[in-house]
Structure 1
């Protein structure tokens, strides 16, 4: 049951990151083509997705993982 919660959390963070990346492009990004990253909605959405995945990734070890490493 808790494994599904891990993936749901990751998907929520990924979606929020994508939304934040697109919002950055829409509200703050360059109007012209002088900024190659922020003037492209696809790149900014991708960067937001990456940031959301990094922030949402659960890097905690469980007791089961610790027991397997000590063997």
Structure 2
């Protein structure tokens, strides 16, 4: 059985963030095209992946570690 500390939370968070970034662009987005981040999916997906990677890293830091 894998320990929670061995799971690559950063990469799982990056994937979830990329999917979330695409979903956010698709559903909310920016209709006028003047928003620098939200107007194109090519910028929103990597931004979401980066935020998800950082969030996953935080989860890995707070997960219980066993010796």
Settle same-fold status: TM greater than 0.5.
yes
Q: How many residues align?
A: 63
Give 1 or 2 for the bigger CA radius of gyration: 1
Structure-2 separation of matches of 1:39 and 1:56: 25
Aligned to 2:61: 59
Q: Which runs of at least 4 in structure 1 moved beyond 6 Å after TM superposition?
A: none
Cα deviation for residue 32 of structure 1 reads 2.8
| Unaligned runs of at least 5 residues, structure 1 | 65-71
Shift of 1:63: 8.4
- Structure showing the higher helix proportion among its residues: 1
Q: How high is the TM-score relative to the length of structure 2?
A: 0.71
Alignment map for 1:3-42 (pairs within 5 Å): 5-7=6-8, 9-42=9-42
Which ranges in structure 2 are unaligned for 5 or more consecutive residues?
none
> What is the TM-score of this pair, normalised by structure 1?
0.67
CA RMSD for the aligned pairs?
Answer: 2.5
Q: Is the 8 A contact 2:12 2:53 kept in 1?
A: no
